[in-house]
Amino acid sequence: MKKILVMGAAGQIGSELVPHLRSIYGEQNVVASDLKERSELGDTLNKGLYEKLDILDTEGTVAVIKKYNIDSVYNLVALLSSVGEQKPQLSWKINLGGLVNLLEISREMKLALFTPSSIGAFGPSTPKVNTPQDTIQRPTSIYGVTKVAGELLCDYYFKKYGVDTRGVRFPGIISNVTLPGGGTTDYAVDIYYEAIRKGHYTCYIKKGTFMDMMYMPDCLKAAVDIMEADPSKLKHRNCFNVAAMSFEPEMLAAEIRKHIPSFTMDYNVDPVRQGIADSWPDSMDDSAAREEWGWKPEFDLKNMTEDMIKVLKEKLK
C-alpha cells in the first residue's frame, strides 16, 4: 500500500484530497501536513495523521517522510495567481523554492511526486480556444511563470534522475468544503455562496470571459488517476491539460437562476484579476490525458450547479 504525504493539505484541494486518499489507501497511510497548527484545522483534517510542516524546511520534511515511510508526495503548496501579483517574490520562493526542495528530497529518497500545474501556465500568445497540449507558453503572471518552470523542472528530474514526477494543468476548481484563496477563478465558487446567502453577486470578472473550470470530485479523480497511471503509457507526465467545462459569468448566473430564480448579478471588474483571466485560455484540449491515462470528467455546468446548490443550502442553513 502507498504511504502518502499531502503538503499544503489545509487548502481548497487538500482538505478534500486527504479524506479521499484515506478512503482509497487507508487512514494510516495518508499523512496531511500544512503550516497550520492542528487546532486551526477544519473537521475533516483534524481526525487523522497530521504534521505541521513548512515546505521550505528540508530537515523537517525529511524527518516526516522517514517517520511514516512515505513513498509518494502530493505537493499542493502554492500562492495562487491573484495573490501572487501582490507578492511576486514570495510566490517564486514558495512555488518554485518549495518544489525544488521536494524534487531534491524525492531524488534522494526515491519518492513519487505529484505537483499540479494550471491553466495559468499559458499566456496571451497561447492559442485561446481548444488550447493544445503542447503549445506556446509565455505566461504574464508570476504564478504562471512558476507553473511553467515547475513543469519543466519536473520533466528534467524525471529525465535526468528518474524521479517519478507527475502532474496535470488544473482549471479553476469549484468546491463547497474549503473556500479557495487568492485565485482568479475564485468568483465561480463565491457566486454560489452569495447566491444562497444574499441572492445577489457582484462579479469581479467581466461578462464574456471564458475560463476552464472543474468540480472537485473530478479534480480528486484526476489527482489519483494520474498517480496510478501506467508509466509506460505516459508521454507527457507533468503537464496534462485536464478539462471539464468552460463558461463565462453570465452562463454560470443563468444556471444558478434555474435553482434560485430571483438571483441577480452585477459587475465591479477587478483589473488585475481580469488581466490574468484575459491572458488564460478559454478552453483546453485534454485529448492527451484522455488517450494516455483515460481521463474523463463526470461533471458539467448543469450537474455541478445542482450539486453545489444542494450541498450549500444544507451547509449555510
Type of residue numbered 261: P
Shortest distance (Å) from residue 95 CB to ligand AKB: 11
Cα–Cα distance measured from residue 232 to residue 294, given in angstroms and rounded to the nearest whole number: 14
Shortest distance (Å) from residue 64 CB to ligand AKB: 26
Closest C-alpha among 233, 234, 224, 222 to residue 118: 222
What percent of the chain is helix, strand and coil (3-state, nearest 5)?
45, 15, 35
Distance of CA 206 to the CA centre of its chain: 23
For residue 309, is it left (φ>0), alpha (ψ between -120 and 50) or beta? alpha
Shortest distance (Å) from residue 213 CB to ligand AKB: 9
Cα–Cα distance measured from residue 157 to residue 165, given in angstroms and rounded to the nearest whole number: 7
Q: Name the residue with the smallest CB distance to ligand AKB.
A: 183
List the catalytic residue out of 50, 74, 143, 187: 143
Backbone angles phi, psi at 97, to 5 degrees: -60, -45
Shortest distance (Å) from residue 3 CB to ligand AKB: 28
Indicate the residue among 34 and 212 with the shorter CB distance to ligand AKB.
212
Residues of the shown chain interacting with ligand AKB in the complex, contacts defined by CB under 6 A: 80-81, 118-120, 143, 170, 172, 183-185
Closest C-alpha among 245, 246, 249 to residue 201: 249
Shortest distance (Å) from residue 120 CB to ligand AKB: 5
Indicate the residue among 143 and 247 with the shorter CB distance to ligand AKB.
143
Indicate the residue among 167 and 172 with the shorter CB distance to ligand AKB.
172
In the annotation, is 161 catalytic?
no
Cα–Cα distance measured from residue 152 to residue 25, given in angstroms and rounded to the nearest whole number: 30
Indicate the residue among 172 and 297 with the shorter CB distance to ligand AKB.
172
Indicate the residue among 44 and 81 with the shorter CB distance to ligand AKB.
81
Q: Where in the sequence numbering do the catalytic residues fall? A: 143
